[in-house]
Homo-oligomer: A and B are copies of this chain.
């Protein structure tokens, strides 16, 4: 930690800053520049009350030099985290993990048919929304518990583990009992109450990046889950909000590289939500694999034109099969397989 003093600080103000730092358990190094005096912490800065330090009258700025996340940090956990899924596949290993399925579960026939098609094409988990986060209270909000039941039937038929988004802590028991991978959506990435609950379960948690979250905030949300006791976190980049409106969001593939460097957690990419347009999915999926993603989440719907949710960004099972075939050689380029 570095403290930059204000231009005309008094000796008393500097002494106060040094005191707060020393109370935090560090030795303080003073470095007087021609314009600026800085205080550097020698030792772990974890015990320093950064907030109080920032508020001291003589202090201009407090700058952190080490990452604020610990358990999510690759520094203290150099090896990649590899998670085993029910059904025997893994996330984070050399084989790419592709989750596929419709935005929302609509009927038994739909979900079972999509499930068996995506399984055949090589998906390792079935995604399907039962509780849907919709901007409008007047939009279809998902089938709820009934949707979870149908996902279970699809699992029974295909053997694919199921991924679904949790919207309420009231549904925790339902999800823990019936869902294999629990998704925390972009809009809830900083719903800290939900994150703490996710830390108390043992199921893998798929944590989507918030629409305007920095990489650091995203990893801090993962840290909430890890710190509360659940090491099974899968990250998912799904596009960030920018000024560009041609695409629904802007897929940030450099974030995949950053996360793989900063953290040991696996990271998937969701090109469907990022772009919002079905025709873009194939190429952005290929780009994501080339960039180094550990896998993908792809929206697949048997009848996109009549989908109750996100039809425009869903691809058909046939297109998904083509995509999986095209991903194979791309995966090989980066030493992976599909």
Q: Which A residues fall within an 8 A CB radius of B?
A: 1-2, 4, 7, 26, 29-36, 38, 40-46, 51-52, 54-57, 61, 63, 65-66, 68, 75, 133-138, 167-170, 187-188, 190-193, 196, 211-212, 214-217, 220, 223-224, 227-228, 240-247, 250-255, 257-258, 261, 274-275, 279-280, 283-284, 286-292, 304-312, 314, 326, 329-330, 332-334
Contacts and interface: CB of A to CB of B under 8 A. Distances in A.
- Which label, helix, strand, loop or mixed, suits the secondary structure of the A interface? mixed
Contacts of A227: 137-138
B333 A54 contact: no
Nearest to A222: B137
12 contacts: A2-B38, A31-B40, A31-B41, A34-B45, A133-B192, A137-B192, A167-B193, A168-B169, A240-B243, A254-B280, A286-B291, A290-B330
Contact of A291 (B35, B287, B332): B287
A35 B280 CA distance: 24
A294 B304 CA distance: 31
A137 to B, nearest CB: 5
List the 5 closest A-B pairs by CB distance, nearest first. Answer: A31-B40, A212-B212, A55-B311, A29-B31, A168-B193
A137 B192 CA distance: 9
Contact of A212 (B29, B138, B168, B241): B241
Residue among A34, A279, A287, A314 with the highest chain B CB neighbour number at 10 A = A287
A283 B288 CA distance: 10
Residue among A1, A35, A326 with the highest chain B CB neighbour number at 10 A = A35
Copies in the complex: 4
A211 B31 CA distance: 37
Contacts of A245: 214, 245
A271 B224 CA distance: 28
A40 B33 contact: yes
Residue among A44, A252, A255, A292 with the highest chain B CB neighbour number at 10 A = A252
Given A291-B287, A307-B52, A191 B192 contact: no
Contacts of A35: 44, 66, 75
Given A55-B307, A137-B228, A192-B134, A250 B240 contact: yes
